[in-house]
Amino acid sequence: MTEARRIVIAPQTGQSISVERGDIIRIIDPQGQQVADLWAFVTDNRSALDWLSTSQTRDINERLFPRVGEHFYSTRGVPLLTLVEDASPGPHDMLFPACNRWLYERAGLPDHPSCQDNLVRAFEAVGIVLPAVPDPVDFFQNSLPSPDGRLDVIASINPPGGSVALRAERDLLLVVTACSVDFHPTNGDRCTEIVVEVTKGD
């Protein structure tokens, strides 16, 4: 069996991770209640910039979030990732944007780390300047819509060690962040690390 690549994403930071078609990516929340944001960009077709689209994924699956066995799709409707296991109680989110510096400024917290800045930095570290910031997949985020349409983010209920596993359907550059929100119960009132394990597929 091939050894897994193990990437530790420190609290309130993010990292880019290259994966190949067939790789299994497990996103683990070791301490519990920590939201992990995920982006995916296609790297096996440089002539066509394409990335994971949360709105296309909702549309094609006709659901707020894929079930196990369903895909996350690109802006062109191409399957990029398959959710192969959900070893968490959920819920997960695909409605919210990444936390960003303006959100923290509105909360009276200038110069605060954010998932959006961490995404941009993770790309700059590999020489890519993003023209725009797509919306992320927010694993373990507890923000299901209320029946009246209200959207509240409440504390994640993910237990320590809760995880999800994805299979790459294309060669991708992923970015995973350990969400920076610490002024709101999103991450259980404390920001902790996220671990990503990548194993080669068959």
Q: CB of 70 within 8 A of CB of 61? A: yes
178 binds Zn ion (CB under 5 A): no
Nearest residue (CB) to Zn ion, 68 versus 154: 154
36 binds Zn ion (CB under 5 A): no
Nearest residue (CB) to Zn ion, 115 versus 194: 115
CB of 36 to Zn ion, least distance (A): 9
CB of 23 to Zn ion, least distance (A): 25
Longest dimension (CA), the chain: 50
Q: CB of 198 within 8 A of CB of 31? A: no
44-52, 97-105, 127-135, 163-171 -> range binding Zn ion (CB under 5 A): 97-105
Q: Which residue has the tokens 């991770």?
A: 17
- The binder of Zn ion chosen from 80, 99, 175, 176 (CB under 5 A): 99
Q: What span, in angstroms and rounded, lies between the C-alpha atoms of 29 and 47?
A: 35
Q: Which residue has the tokens 């819920």?
A: 91
81 binds Zn ion (CB under 5 A): no
Q: CB of 119 within 8 A of CB of 164? A: no
Peptide bond into 91 cis (omega under 30): yes
Q: Site mask, Zn ion, residues 101-130, x = CB under 5 A?
A: --------------x---------------
DSSP three-state, residue 15:
strand
- Amino acid found at 194: I
67-75, 94-102, 151-159, 160-168 -> range binding Zn ion (CB under 5 A): 94-102
- The binder of Zn ion chosen from 19, 173, 175, 179 (CB under 5 A): 179
CB of 20 to Zn ion, least distance (A): 27
Q: How far is CA 92 from CA 17, 50, 122, in A?
A: 21, 23, 23
CB of 99 to Zn ion, least distance (A): 3
Q: Which residues bind Zn ion (CB under 5 A)?
A: 99, 115, 179
